[in-house]
Every structure is written in structure tokens, then in C-alpha cells.
Chain A
Amino acid sequence: MIDSPGTSTLIVAYASDFDGWREQARQLLKAGIPPARVTWRDGSDRNDDLFSMGAESLPIAPNAPTPTIARAHLQALSRAARYRTQPHEIGRWPLLYQTLWRLSRGDETALNAADETGAEVQRRQHAVKREAHHLHAFLRFHPDADARGECFVAWFEPAHEVLDLGAEHFADRLGSARFRIATPQGGVEWNGEHFTYHATCPREWRARAQSAASADEDRALWRTYFVSTFNPARLNHKVMTQHMPQRFWRHLSEGDLIPALEAKARHGGQRLAQEASVGERKGKALPPARPERDADA
């Protein structure tokens, strides 16, 4: 039976992660509590929360049927939950509960981009997907060695909670090689077989990632490639920064080359597609076809 909550009193619910939210949301749905009556707080310890005094605790309706929504919808919600909100934005838990409430009542438009909350959920999902993509694209590993041998280490500053998505991706790429990813929040280590997650990244990981980056012997090769593959005749600052936001540059070994290459291209280097240093090398025109002989002998 429903623990008879009043029809107008506020209920405070707590969630520190998606699974916690899902648990709470299920109880609220079973008890038929509409979103307007729920105040969500981050965290799990209600005893410390002064503001919860006077509000009713979570109602229990153990015998009510468990509400269901489509698996794809649940996935959409869990993706959107990885979004880190700004102070002016609606919090993740209330937004998700509003959407869930409507979905559970058969309102399929709740997730449509043409709906106001639907658009917000979609926008967050999109931002999360994009950030996961940034992580896959712009994270850089550098070799480091410890007692157990070679390990590839990286430092990355994700804007949303995507570390685990990146870790899975890199385990597919690197196979049995060990790697470690450090972020300002958590950290993860792959030993070739298993992940070890740290909610707070061990402090020395960051320093090791940075020293490995500067000691990397192949750093010069990559920088050379970056310079040579650039076509100064096609300079296009806008498109580049759209795709590769500047916040990533300082952790890329090619990052500091970008402004220099742009400046050089603007000051005359733009006439030709060829990189200037290549043009300065000694050239070699070849005689007409000498079939069956090595042209570069």
C-alpha cells in the first residue's frame, strides 16, 4: 500500500549516479509522484541535508507494478545523465525524471527533439557523445615504464563523464598493451585484461603522463608529419577550430605548431601547397622513363 504521501508536499530524492537515480525514480513512479513534487539532490546521504527537514521521505509502494519503458529510451536517459550541468541549467536528475514520468505514461514525444525537454535530453546526449568522440580522438598516449614493463600513459580533461567510454575504446585498440588514463576527476588502468577504476585519480599519474609526453622519442616524428601534411594554400582557421576546440591543443604534441603554421601561411607561405622546408631541399628532376630500372638507384 502507498505510504499515503500528501498530495502537495515536496519529496526530496537523492542520487549520486545513474543507477542510484534509477532506483529512486522507480520508487517515485510506483507511488505515482509527479515531477513537480520532487526535489532532487546530488549525493546519497540524506541525514546531512538540512534542507530535507520538513519534507517527506520517499514513499513506498511495494506492491505497485514496476513501470517499464523501452530499453532504447533508458539508454538515452543514461547517456544524458553523463552530462555535467552548468549552474544555469536544469539539474540532470529533475530533467531525467520529468522525461521518465512522461515516457512511463506513454507520451513518446517526451524524447523527440521537437519537444522542449526532449530537445534538452537530446542536446545533452549529443554533447556527451561528442565529448566521448573528443576523448577517442584527442587523447594522446606516451610510453612510460614501471616495474611491470611498458605502459602507455595519458592525461585528458573531459567536459562530461565519459572516461569509461574511452577506456573501453582503447582496450579494443591496444589489446594486451597496458595503459593508464588520468583525468582531473577519476583515473583508469588497463592491465591487458582488466580495468581498475579510481574515483579520484592517483596524484602521481598526472605528473607521469606529462613527463612521458615530453620524454617521448617519437614526438619529433609526429610533429614533422603534422607540418608536412598541412597544405598552407588551403588555410582555414574557422573549420579547424570548429572541429578541434582550443581547449585540447595544449595537451597535443602538435598543439603549439598550429599558431606558428597559420602565421607562416598568412605571411606568404600560402602561395604554394608545398611545405617551405621541403622546397628548400635540393631537388631532382628525373630523366624520361627508363623501364625496368630503379628510378631511385
Chain B
Amino acid sequence: MELIDKLSILADAAKYDASCASSGAPQRSSRGKTGVGASNGTGICHSFTPDGRCVSLLKVLMTNFCLFDCQYCVNRRSSNIPRARFTPEEIVRLTLSFYRRNTISGLFLSSGIIRSSDYTMEQMIEVARQLREVHEFRGYIHLKAIPEADPKLLEQAGRYADRLSANVELPTLTSLKTLAPEKELGTIHTAMGQIREGIDAANDGARADARHPPRSANPKRQAPRYAPGGQSTQMIVGADATDDRTILQSAQQLYRSFRLKRVYYSAFSPIPERPAGLPQAAPPMLREHRLYQADFLIRTYGFQAEEILGKPGNLELDIDPKLAWALNHRDGFPVDLNTAEPGMIGRVPGIGLRSVQRLVELRRHRKIRFQDLVALRCRLETLKPFVVTQDYRPADAARDSQRLRQTMTEPQPAQLALI
């Protein structure tokens, strides 16, 4: 099979993984050196496909042959789809070609499981090894960790990769049992735990190096790097009946236990050869979007999953989770921007973290006025009922949350002009 045909099949097979980040890698540059590639911590989207998704990495499977039969997966063994397999050299060639043309910032390599988990992991490591050692490639590498593989192999993978990820795919044990009978949550968690230990140990080593720099500049004498861009995982949304609260609680647990950099949510897209019991509906993209918003509140605003969703169920689709939370906690509002703790200002819907910073900085010099919120381009219509400034108090502070919710979700009637 020609390389271009393999690429067509194996990129198509890899598109179900939502992660395409190239951020979080350490500073690397090829200036004045042989080899190619750089990374500087911030990701670059080199293109966008018409689904609005960022193209940052060459995202392919090494092969879509697979021994497993995970029901939600297009590549499961019982699926009647075209199959292909790259050689390590072919993946290396594609990565370098695309990288030099500036269409990607690195490689995200995953694979179906062939022969054995160890064999599959070894083949993926071989690709990373060739890139790093033979071609001195300093761009981004994200490898999928095969949880069942020998811990020694995960160790090796982390030496070459900027990021490792093991996908939990399904948020609960029960759904994993029914939909991915050959996968085990225990094994996935063990692998994540091991990756976390590797990252922690490398970080300790790096800190020790920073305190007592080794005398030689030889990188071999320095603490070895291990997946410096951290680890991530993915959960599929909408393939089973799990609710958002359970999904967010699992995510929160994963952030805490394994210090994941990111949990990705992937709205289940209808696949060819769909097994019975899986939805044929369009992917629930709005639900996925709300989950990302809620996840962001957990990661950066200090919300707990249980605060965002007090009882079992899903996030509201018509308003974002921060606004929903504020409407359910009217007793904490309005917030006086001139006196409130920064953390509380961050909880005002319509005010983002950057604006919080700027308001706190500004109020050291003078009182905050409503006009400042205009200048900072905060979402005025949203925040109005929730803030107090030197010259402004919400008129509808007394209005009940139900009515307020209605005005915020329904389209506003057109303004009437006076004649």
C-alpha cells in the first residue's frame, strides 16, 4: 500500500482522540545545531479543519489493526473497516516533512494493539527514538501509553515524549465493563500512577539540579527528563448514559490523584459499523462544550465538581456553568468589586480571570467604576445583576433568580423607539 493511502486511513482512524495540544514542553531550540525542531511551551495551531479543531500535530495511529473490541471504537477488531500499518520510518518521514513545511509542531502517535501490548508500545517508542536520536528532532512528541504494557516501556516512552496519555475513555467502571470488556480501569490507573511518579521524580531531580547545578553541561549528567509536558486523558461523552456530574467527579478525581494536565472530553461521533446500543445521533457538541467550561472552572477557578452540579444530572445547555452557579447562589451576590476577595470576583459570571487581575491592580490606584468593566470588555449584560461598583448597584438585585434566568436565556425583545 502506498504511503499516501496509509496516511489517509490512519489519520482518519486517529481523529477520535480530541487531544491535539502542543503546549507545556520545555524550551528547546535548534539554532546553531544539527537536527530540527523547537518547542517553547506555547502550542501553535497550524491550521483548522472545518470542524473548528486545531491542527497542531501529525495525529495518526501507527496501525488500526487491533486485538481489542471496544464497542465505541471505529478500530475495534469486529469493525469492517480498511486496515493499514505504518513502518516507524514512514511516520518519521511524514513528521519531518510536515514539520519543515511548518504545517505541524510535532507528532501525536497512538495505535491499535497488535501482537501484544508490549510489542505495540515498543514499536511506538522506536518511532520516538528515531526522531529524537537519529534525526535530533526537538519538536513536540505525544505518545499514547498502552496501560497493559511493561512499566519499563512506559519509563522509556517518557524519556522521549513531551506528553504521555492513557485514555480512560469511559467515566465509570460499569460502562467500561460493558463497552470495553478487555480494558481494565485498574490497569489504566496503575499506568497513570506510574507516569505521575516518573514526572514527580524528574521534577525533583530538576529542582535538585537547579539548587546544585551539575558541574558538567553534559545532559547525561543532569536529571533525566520525563514527559515534561505532563499527562492527559480523554473521556467519551454520550456513548453511554453516564451523567455530567459523574463525569466531572471522575475528572476531578483524576486531576487530584494523578495530577493530570488535562482531561479531554470527546463527544461521541457516529462511527461506521455501529454496534447495537450505541447512539447514531449527531455528536453532543454543546454538552461537550459545557463540560469543558465546567472543567475549566475546576482547574483554574477553584470550583468543586459538587458545587457546579449539586445533584446528579447534566449541565444546563442554555447557560454556561458559571452563570448557572451564580443564579443558584444569589445570596452571595452582588459582589462589591472594590472590596471583594479576588477569588470571589472570579466567581462573577461575565468576568474572566484576566479581568480579575486587572481590576485588582487598578483598585490599588483608584476606585473601580462601572466604566472600567466596559473598558475591560467584560460581558456587561451577564454581570450586571451580580456586581457593585463605586457608581453602580444592580436595580434588579431583588428580582428572583427564576425571572433573572429567563431574561438571560431568552432573546431580549427588540428595543422600541420613542416616536
Tally of contact residues, B, Cβ under 8 A: 81
* CB contact under 8 A between A225 and B50, given known A175-B35, A273-B16, A283-B81: no
In the bound assembly, the distance between CA atoms of A233 and B279 in angstroms comes to: 13
Distance of A261 Cα from B100 Cα, bound (Å)? 26
A227 within 8 A of B: yes
Name, among A221, A238, A270, A293, the residue most crowded by chain B CB atoms within 10 Å (CB to CB). Answer: A221
Contacts of B50 in A (CB 8 A): 230, 235-237, 240, 258, 261-262, 265
Point out the residue from B11, B35, B83, B182 that lies within 8 Å of A296, measured CB to CB.
B83
Partner of A289, one of B67, B83, B285: B67
A contact residues vs B (CB 8 Å cutoff):
108-109, 112-116, 119, 133, 136-143, 152, 154, 169-177, 193, 216, 218, 220-222, 224-240, 242-244, 252, 254, 258, 261-262, 265, 270-275, 277-279, 281-296
Other-chain residue from A234, A237, A272 in contact with B272 (beta carbon distance below 8 A): A272
Give bound CA distance, A254 to B98, whole Å.
13
Partner of B102, one of A173, A221, A262, A278: A173
- Contacts A174-B36, A175-B36, A224-B4 known; A230 to B51 CB distance under 8 Å? yes
Listed residue (B31, B102, B285) with the most chain A CB atoms within 10 angstroms of its CB: B102
Interface segment among B229-237, B301-309, B357-365: the answer is B357-365
A234 touching B53, Cβ below 8 Å:
yes
Docked-complex contact A282 and B32, CB < 8 angstroms? no
What 9 new A-B contacts, CB under 8 Å, besides A230-B15, A242-B52, A261-B50?
A109-B366, A112-B358, A224-B7, A225-B98, A243-B45, A283-B79, A284-B80, A290-B67, A291-B67
In whole angstroms, how far apart are the Cα atoms of A112 and B65 in the complex?
Answer: 56
Q: Given the known inter-chain contacts A282-B82, A285-B79, please indicate yes or no for A222 contacting B101, CB distance below 8 A.
A: yes
Contacts of B32 on A, CB cut-off 8 Å? Answer: 175-176, 193
Contact call B30/A176, Cβ cutoff below 8 A:
yes
A226–B114 touching, CB < 8 Å: no
Given the contacts A278-B12, A286-B78, A173 and B36 also touching, CB distance less than 8 Å: yes
Given A177-B36, A254-B47: A114 touches B114 (CB 8 Å cut-off): no
Q: List 22 A-B contacts (CB under 8 A).
A: A112-B358, A114-B359, A136-B44, A137-B44, A175-B31, A175-B32, A175-B33, A176-B33, A177-B100, A226-B55, A228-B9, A228-B11, A230-B49, A234-B285, A262-B50, A272-B269, A287-B77, A291-B115, A291-B116, A294-B114, A295-B77, A296-B85
Minimum distance in angstroms from A112 CB to a CB of chain B: 6
A-B contacts counted at CB < 8 A amount to 245
**CB pair A233 B269 closer than 8 Å:** yes
Given contacts A258-B50, A286-B66, contact A224 B36 (CB under 8 A): no
